[in-house]
């Protein structure tokens, strides 16, 4: 197949490299980046890609021509996701969009409408749903009985290195827009679905959030942060018969219950990893197979909806903090933007560090 990857950053390059390594395939892959063409041109020239990978300074030819792609993966800046995906879907191409598909739920739904109108495939990236260690954890937690509560910690440090490259983030994208598309599908797989927002404590000027959700009558607590003390990835489920945890800060992570503690995926070094498995599933759909439900845009819609519910209170906290700082009512270290309880009077008695 002719596959176009739109984007020139670390994750776009990771996707392209994994595509080149998929077994039993000889796809022709092009990375498209108007802003980073020179850097990509040097990167794709590495001998390990055997000439299968090339760089382009413009977006793919969506309409016609010998270089028209047969599948498109959108992994550029979040504010450009919609334009790139809409162009490809309107031309009838199967498209996989990296997270978040869009921070705005109306854009996610509109892309779905475009895909339906043009008989295109729209897939949303949910790479952790393809991790064997996560599936093993879901099974271990289910074996303990009815889940009662869930806690999820997702933090990044100031100098995290992933795959030998410093990890960065788009400062224009809030931490909840960035992380919820990972977390919400995962907790849904763990039987905590249809979550509603109950509380949100904004800390360090918005870099750290403590979020309270409710799934039916069961509480779900999230801690998400960037530029934090370090990289943490931890899920803890309390069940009728004990606690199950997954620590996957270093993949494939460790699964622990009252009965055992074990490697999350003994096949990590010998079998395809999550990204390769997800890309294989997308290419199967691009070639006419059914779309894997783990790639469903409905999951992206749910994440964007929850992010939208958080956005108003988040902005309110930010504005309130700026006004107080401008009025000279705060020190340089503290800002009174305490926890917002949804459906109740906002609390102003909790100070958080900025």
Mean pLDDT confidence for 34-47: 90
More confident position, 328 or 64: 64
pLDDT exceeds 80 at position 203: yes
Here the contacts of 255-263 (C-beta below 8 Å, separation 24 or greater) are 255/133, 255/136, 255/137, 255/140, 257/140, 257/141, 257/144, 260/140
Instruction: Note the pLDDT of residue 344.
Output: 37
Instruction: Note the pLDDT of residue 110.
Output: 98
Distance of alpha carbon 108 from alpha carbon 195, whole angstroms: 19
Give the H or E element holding residue 226.
Answer: strand 218-228
| Cα–Cα nearest to 110, from 91, 80, 92, 90 | 90
pLDDT exceeds 80 at position 108: yes
More confident position, 21 or 330: 21
Classify 2-124 by CATH class.
Answer: alpha beta
pLDDT band at 312 (very low <50, low <70, confident <90, very high): confident
For the chain, the domains span 2-124
Instruction: Name the range with the highest mean pLDDT among 156-165, 240-249, 344-353.
Output: 240-249
**Out of 107-116, 150-159, 238-247, 295-304, least confident range:** 150-159
The rounded percent of the chain whose pLDDT value lies above 90 is 77
User: pLDDT digit string (tens) for 173-196?
Assistant: 999 999 999 999 999 999 999 999
Quick one: CA torsion of 23, 11, 227, 208, rounded to 10 degrees? -90
Mean pLDDT confidence for 57-84: 92
pLDDT exceeds 80 at position 106: yes
Distance of alpha carbon 88 from alpha carbon 95, whole angstroms: 7
Mean pLDDT confidence for 128-136: 98
Mean pLDDT confidence for 94-115: 97
pLDDT band at 314 (very low <50, low <70, confident <90, very high): confident
Distance of alpha carbon 36 from alpha carbon 57, whole angstroms: 8
pLDDT exceeds 50 at position 215: yes
pLDDT band at 68 (very low <50, low <70, confident <90, very high): very high
Mean pLDDT computed over every residue of the chain: 89
pLDDT band at 310 (very low <50, low <70, confident <90, very high): very high
Tokens read off for 304 = 């964007």
Mean pLDDT confidence for 10-36: 94
Here the contacts of 75-80 (C-beta below 8 Å, separation 24 or greater) are 75/5, 75/6, 75/7, 75/9, 75/11, 75/12, 75/15, 76/6, 76/7, 76/8, 76/9, 76/12, 76/33, 77/7, 77/170, 78/102, 78/103, 78/170, 78/172, 78/173, 78/177, 79/172
pLDDT band at 350 (very low <50, low <70, confident <90, very high): very low
Instruction: Note the pLDDT of residue 66.
Output: 80
pLDDT exceeds 80 at position 353: no
Q: Angle at Cα 97 formed by Cα 251 and Cα 162, nearest 5°?
A: 30
165 forms beta bridges with 162
Distance of alpha carbon 179 from alpha carbon 153, whole angstroms: 11
Give the position of tokens 């290195």: 161
pLDDT exceeds 80 at position 42: yes
Instruction: Note the pLDDT of residue 162.
Output: 57
pLDDT exceeds 60 at position 345: no
Give the H or E element holding residue 116.
Answer: helix 105-117
């Amino acid at each position: 197949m002719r596959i176009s990857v739109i984007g020139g950053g670390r994750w776009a390059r990771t996707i392209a490299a994994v595509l080149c390594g998929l077994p039993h395939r000889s796809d022709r892959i092009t990375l498209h980046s108007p802003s980073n063409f020179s850097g990509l041109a040097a990167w794709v020239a590495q001998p390990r890609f055997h000439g299968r990978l090339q760089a382009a300074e413009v977006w793919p030819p969506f309409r016609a021509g010998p270089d028209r792609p047969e599948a498109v993966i959108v992994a550029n800046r979040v504010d450009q996701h919609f334009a790139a995906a809409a162009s490809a879907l309107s031309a009838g191409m199967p498209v996989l969009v990296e997270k978040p598909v869009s921070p705005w739920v109306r854009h996610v739904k509109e892309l779905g409408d475009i895909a339906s109108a043009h008989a295109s495939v729209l897939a949303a990236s949910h790479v952790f749903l393809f991790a064997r260690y996560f599936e093993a954890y879901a099974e271990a937690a289910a074996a303990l009985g009815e889940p009662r509560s869930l806690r999820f910690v997702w933090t990044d440090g100031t100098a995290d290195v992933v795959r030998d490259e410093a990890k960065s983030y788009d400062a224009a994208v809030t931490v909840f827009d960035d992380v919820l598309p990972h977390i919400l599908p995962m907790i849904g797989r763990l039987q905590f679905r249809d979550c509603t927002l109950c509380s949100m404590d904004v800390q360090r000027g918005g870099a750290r959030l403590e979020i309270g959700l409710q799934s039916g009558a069961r509480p779900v607590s999230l801690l998400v942060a960037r530029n934090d003390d370090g990289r943490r990835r931890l899920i803890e489920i309390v069940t009728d018969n004990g606690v199950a945890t997954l620590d996957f800060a270093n993949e494939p992570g460790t699964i622990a219950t009252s009965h055992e503690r074990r490697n999350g995926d003994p096949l990590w070094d010998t079998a395809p990893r999550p990204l390769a498995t997800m890309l294989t599933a997308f290419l199967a759909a691009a070639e006419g197979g059914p779309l894997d439900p783990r790639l469903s845009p409905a999951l992206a819609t749910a994440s964007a909806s929850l992010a939208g519910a958080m956005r108003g209170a988040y902005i309110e906290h930010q504005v309130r903090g700026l006004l107080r700082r401008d009025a000279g009512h705060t020190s340089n270290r503290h800002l009174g933007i305490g926890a917002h309880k949804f459906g109740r009077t906002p609390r102003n008695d909790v100070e958080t560090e900025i």
